[in-house]
Amino acid sequence: MKTKILEITDPQKDMSAIRYAAEVIKNGGLVAFPTETVYGLGCNALDIHAASKIYEAKGRPSDNPLIVHLSDPSRVEEYVYLEDPLAKVYMDHFWPGPLTLVMKKKPIIPDSVTAGLSTVGIRCPSHAVARLLIQKAGVPIAAPSANLSGRPSTTEASHVIDDLNGKVDVILCGGNSVYGLESTVLDITRKPAVILRPGFITLEDLSFINPDTIQASDTSMKDGIPKAPGMKYRHYAPRAKMLLLRGDPVKVSEYVDGIYEKKEGEKACVLTVEEWTHYFKGKRVFDLGPMTDASRIAGNLFSVLRKIDKTDINVIYATYLEGKGLYTSIMNRMKKAAGENVMNL
């Protein structure tokens, strides 16, 4: 398939590209587009056949449901039942923005989009290009992150081109994602409401609206709460093997000294924060930004993992970051990228 790659510098001026992409969506095609979280790969959410093309292009397991994106929150009741009295409160507070609400779906949303679930995740993005695309298409857009399944999500147009050129109809290039982490997924069909995937909107933010909100455990289902179906798969994974080292930086640097490139064929690097780079002198170091700036770290994570992938590095020694709020979301992604390979030092 020949992919049309269209640059959007100013959404108003480049409206013809957005209109073209909207026509492609209406006709059952696939369009990758920027959002404020990560790039999405979209199709018409009301077309029973379109979703299967997304699963095929991404190589995504078919039991992993897609998020449905709306531009106009006032139309949400066309697609879901608002059973939770707080549903509207969440929407007023956090939409448009990086929160996906899992609610009971109406029959108009095809089973192919929700992987057969009776619920659907709905999100109203704030990015101008995403909003205009949905408006011009005149239908809600079902979109997972625009990466090959299992790979780090895409936060720059070049990442999308690397993964999906030749597999989708259109790629709308609209700069870098401002957040760089996927939306928070909150299941409000459960009591108490459960965060299935943490993101920029944190447990602390959501507890402000509903103090009973809980975070689904990262690694197991033993609390009886199934995670977002997608979270059971290996995710965000760089090609290199990643090991997360948890402990104070002196101990971590001593440990790394002992094993760094000692195995035959190992090409290693250290992934850490700015303040700790000096502990790893003489090694290849990638830094995610200042330790105190969680937003910067979140925004850099996927692009740094992809940058490492472009080198010959095959082992990443990453330092664990402690903290609440957004740090929890960052560590959720880093643990998954490391295949839960965490060593306490």
Residue 243 is a binding residue for ligand TXA (CB under 6 A):
no
State the number of binding residues for ligand TXA (CB under 6 A).
Answer: 28
Tokens of residue 283, six digits: 């090694």
Residue 156 is a binding residue for ligand TXA (CB under 6 A):
no
Query: Pick from ligand TXA, Mg ion, none: which does 121 bind, CB < 5 to 8 A by kind?
Result: ligand TXA
Q: How far is the CB of 236 from Mg ion (least distance, A)?
A: 8
340 phi/psi in degrees, rounded to 5: 65, 25
| Sequential DSSP letters for 82-150 | --STTHHHHHHHH-SSSEEEEEEEPTTS-HHHHTT-SEEEEE----HHHHHHHHHHTS-EE--BSS-TT
| Separation of first and last alpha carbons in the chain | 49
Q: How far is the CB of 257 from ligand TXA (least distance, A)?
A: 37
| Sequential DSSP letters for 136-201 | HHTS-EE--BSS-TTSPPP-SHHHHHHHHTTTSSEEEE----SS-SPPEEEE-SSSS-EEEE--SS
Residue 213 is a binding residue for Mg ion (CB under 5 A):
no
Tokens of residue 155, six digits: 């936060």
Q: How far is the CB of 240 from Mg ion (least distance, A)?
A: 20
Q: How far is the CB of 192 from ligand TXA (least distance, A)?
A: 16
Please give the DSSP secondary-structure letter assigned to residue 248. -
- The single residue among 11, 29, 34, 40 that binds ligand TXA, judged by CB under 6 A, is 40
Nearer to ligand TXA, 119 or 253 (CB): 119
Residue 329 is a binding residue for Mg ion (CB under 5 A):
no
Residue 336 is a binding residue for ligand TXA (CB under 6 A):
no
Q: How far is the CB of 101 from Mg ion (least distance, A)?
A: 17
Please give the DSSP secondary-structure letter assigned to residue 267. -
Residue 100 is a binding residue for Mg ion (CB under 5 A):
no
CB of 146 closer than 8 Å to CB of 30:
no
Residue 145 is a binding residue for Mg ion (CB under 5 A):
yes
Where on the chain is the footprint of ligand TXA (CB under 6 A)?
35, 37-38, 40, 64-67, 100, 102, 114, 117, 119-121, 123, 143-145, 182-183, 185, 196-197, 228-231
Where on the chain is the footprint of Mg ion (CB under 5 A)?
145
